[in-house]
Amino acid sequence: MEDLYREVILDHYKNPRGHGVIEDADAAAEGMNPLCGDEVAIYVEFGEDGETIDEVKFSGRGCAISQAATSMLMEMVKGRTATEVGELSKDELLEEIGIPLTPIRLKCALLGLGVLKVALHRSKGTPLPDEWAGLDDQFKVS
Amino acid sequence: MAVGARATLDARKLRADFPILQQEINGKPLAYLDSAVTSQKPRQVLDAMTSFYETSYGNVHRGVYGLAERATEAFEGARDRIVRFVNAPSSRELIFTRNATESLNLVAYAYGLATFGPGDVVIVTELEHHSNFVPWQYVAKRTGASFRMIRLTETGELDLDGLDEIAGDGNIKLVATNLVSNALGTVNPVEKLTAWAHEQGAVMVVDAAQAAPHRAIDVQALDCDFLAFSAHKMCGPSGVGALWGRRELLEAMEPFNLGGHMIRKVQFEETTWGDLPHKFEAGTSPIAEAVGFGAAVDYLNEVGLDAIEQYEHDLVAYALERLVDVPGIKLYGPAPEKRAGIVSFNMEGIHPHDVAQVLDWEGVAIRAGHHCCQPLMAKLGVAATNRASFYLYTLPEEIDRLADGLLRARKVFG
């Protein structure tokens, strides 16, 4: 059971990568998990090609799973293009997280990915799968 | 500990009535410390519903055959017992609903929407569950009435000193509060607030969802105008709740749901409404659930509401004493003598979800979240809290296991 909080998860939770805010970001969105009120905002800056993610940061508050997963996501997507990240499957992130999650905790783990998808969808028109499209309304543009 | 010596009920004996509590979670006996969200059900309630379905089920107030008569008798018998449970003056004033939320929406739509207008003031508290907050906010917006909130003191009690200022110059039409806070356990001074509301000529709405399971309720002593509660929090089934309302108000109100059963005469030109309480009970009611609600009220009366209140008071005092020593804990809410069996807290550096997850490994079930009280969470400056809540079947050693589980969480998170 304690695998849930294995060292790498706790490390990302306590020392989140890419934690912060980008002022005047090229793309940004924020979202919340209505179950617990947790919030995540993500800010993206593109490179000169207007496509490659040069810098990506997140802010907000949440449980170890949501914060660690979002922190891991920041490392995963930096240097990739908006198109690539638009196509990034949740399984790829879940594999990186590497722990079995119950359906409720899955919502925590995928909050950051959903917010990032919404941000890219709004700024670059990347596809927004149905599971996140329903949440689009609640994700205010920062 | 002191609980055993002062208790007036035998929780260990009562637990035998609750089949669900006889199980293990993750290899540990289930410690169900989430009764504020919903209570577990005793065998007596389950049996009453099964027996009703097996021997007496039919639709009510419709058929003339024997079974329909028996079903109607059981349904109305349950209503009568619930009426006595809250000491309402008449069975006509007690309406079966889906739950306390629907009861409050009934008042918001059928009374508020029809009565409020610009220049009117609707007052709620910072401590409300969304079910007694959002309907009033919405109806105020729809009618142009202004929406005000009674703030909390630092100890989580209603700040009644500022009442007149909150009221402003408007025409105060309605005050809505809970009797017991689901998030902090605060027992609110409803009599005092009601007296003030009535002085202003306002109607008083009381959300008793969190109070009715745990203490004797007397609508005549409270002197309120509407009171809402849910069966599922008081040993009864989900799917049924009740609204008590003052007869003259209910009679003056238009119906909330329209359809079968609630009518007197339907013609193409016009439809007239049935008598109370039927005017507010359109469609087929939750019949077996109402019968279960009646059985739940019988069960609580048998145990004794005063004994339940006293026992939970002892439990909460013990819990506060036990938890205060947990490193990095922050406890919310008032002193034990001003609260029901609810303890809300946070652990420094550990999110409530993670706390609840580690406790689940120990078989301890608590709630982690905003408890449908986001205005209160904003006041506390948090997104969520942990909440342990107790009932007549809670054992002191389950509180010990909660405290031990918190130490384990502290260990996991360093």
- For the whole model, what pTM was predicted? 0.92
For B383, nearest residue in chain A (alpha carbons): A37
Q: Which residue bears the tokens 């359109």?
A: B282
Q: What share of chain A is helix, strand, coil (3-state, %, to 5)?
A: 50, 20, 30
- Which is it for strands B364-365 and B31-32: parallel, antiparallel or unpaired? parallel
Nearest of B381, B353, B414, B386 to residue A108 by alpha carbon = B353
Nearest chain A residue to B354, by CA: A63
Contacts of A49 (CB under 8 A, 6+ apart): none
pLDDT over 70, % of chain A? 89
> Is the omega angle on the peptide bond into residue B277 within 30 degrees of 0, that is, cis?
yes
- What confidence tier does A135 reach under pLDDT thresholds 50, 70, 90? low
Q: What pLDDT, in 10s, does the model give residues B197-242?
A: 999 999 999 999 999 999 999 999 999 999 999 999 999 999 999 9
Of A109-123, B158-172, B280-294, minimum mean pLDDT range: B158-172
Question: Which amino acid type is present at position B317?
Answer: A
Predicted pLDDT of residue A7: 87
Q: Is the pLDDT of residue A13 over 80?
A: yes
In angstroms, the CA B241 to CA B106 distance is: 12
Give one word for A15, left, alpha or beta, with left for phi > 0 and alpha for psi -120 to 50: beta
Mean pLDDT of B290-299: 98
Neighboring chain B residues of A67 at a CB cutoff of 8 Å: 351
| Six token digits for residue A29 | 């969105």
Residue of B381 and B302 predicted with greater confidence: B302
pLDDT value, residue B64: 87
The partner residue sitting opposite B383, judged by closest CB among A1, A4, A37, is A37
pLDDT at A35: 73
Give me the pLDDT at residue B77, please.
98
Residue contacts between A and B (CB atoms, under 8 Å): 51
User: What ipTM was assigned to the predicted interfaces of this complex?
Assistant: 0.84
Average of per-residue pLDDT across B38-67: 95
Contacts of B176 (CB under 8 A, 6+ apart): B104, B122, B123, B124, B125, B128, B132, B136, B204, B205, B206, B207
Q: What is the pLDDT of residue B127?
A: 95
User: What's the per-residue H, E or C state across B86-128?
Assistant: CCCCCHHHEEEECCHHHHHHHHHHHHHHHHCCCCEEEEEECCC
Amino acid at B169: D
User: How close B370 gets to chain A, by Cα (Å)?
Assistant: 6
Q: Is the pLDDT of residue B287 over 80?
A: yes
Quick check: B357 contacting A, CB < 8 Å?
yes
pLDDT for residue A126 is more than 70: yes
Q: Which domains are assigned to chain B?
A: 2-32+304-413 (3.90.1150.10), 47-301 (3.40.640.10)
B270 by Cβ neighbours in 10 Å (0-12 / 13-18 / 19+) ranks as exposed
**What gap in Å lies between CA A74 and CA A80, rounded to an integer?**
11
Least reliable range by pLDDT among A26-40, B100-114, B338-352: A26-40
pLDDT of residue A141: 40
Q: Give the tens place of pLDDT for each residue, B340-350.
A: 999 999 999 99
Q: C-alpha angle A110/A115/A116, rounded to 5°? A: 100
Q: How confident is the model at residue A39 (pLDDT cuts 50, 70, 90)?
A: confident
Contact partners, residue B159, CB within 8 Å, separation at least 6: B150, B151, B152, B153
Q: Is B168 left (phi over 0), alpha (psi -120 to 50) or beta?
A: left
Distance from CA of A63 to the nearest CA of B (A): 5
Q: What angle do CA B302, B306, B310 make, to 5 degrees?
A: 120
Cβ neighbours of A70 in B, within 8 Å: none
CB atoms B369 and A36 under 8 Å: yes
The pairs formed by B259-265 with CB atoms below 8 angstroms and a separation of 24 or more are B259/B283, B260/B284, B261/B61, B261/B62
**What is the chain A residue with the closest CA to B369?**
A36
Residues B90, B246 contacting (CB under 8 angstroms): no
Over 50: is that where the pLDDT of A142 sits?
no
CB proximity B383 to A under 8 Å: yes
Residue B363 has pLDDT above 60, yes or no: yes
Minimum Cα–Cα distance from B385: chain A residue:
A36
Nearest to A17 by CA among A55, A48, A63: A55
| Residue B285 banded pLDDT, cuts 50, 70, 90 | very high
What rounded mean pLDDT belongs to chain B?
Answer: 95
Give the pLDDT confidence score for residue A133 in this predicted structure: 62
Six-digit token pair at A120? 């890219």
Q: How does pLDDT run across B16-38, given as a tens digit for each residue? A: 999 999 999 999 999 999 999 99
Average pLDDT, chain A: 88
Helices (H), B144-242: 163-167, 190-199, 219-222
Angle, CA B288 vertex, CA B286 and CA B292 arms, to 5°: 110
Cβ-contact B282, B258 below 8 angstroms: yes
Res B277 pLDDT > 90:
yes
Whether B361 and chain A come into contact, CB under 8 Å, resolves to yes
Q: Give me the active site residues of B, please.
A: 372
Domains, chain A, with CATH or none: 2-136 (3.90.1010.10)
- Residue B405 CA to residue B163 CA, distance in Å, equals 42
A interface with B, Cβ–Cβ below 8 Å? 1-2, 4-5, 10, 35-39, 61-65, 67, 105, 108
Q: Note whether B348 contacts A: Cβ–Cβ < 8 A.
A: no
Q: Could you give the C-alpha distances from B147 to B99, B140, B205, in angstroms and in order? A: 24, 6, 15
Chain A CB contacts of B370 under 8 Å are 36-37
User: Which pLDDT score, from 0 to 100, does residue A38 have?
Assistant: 79
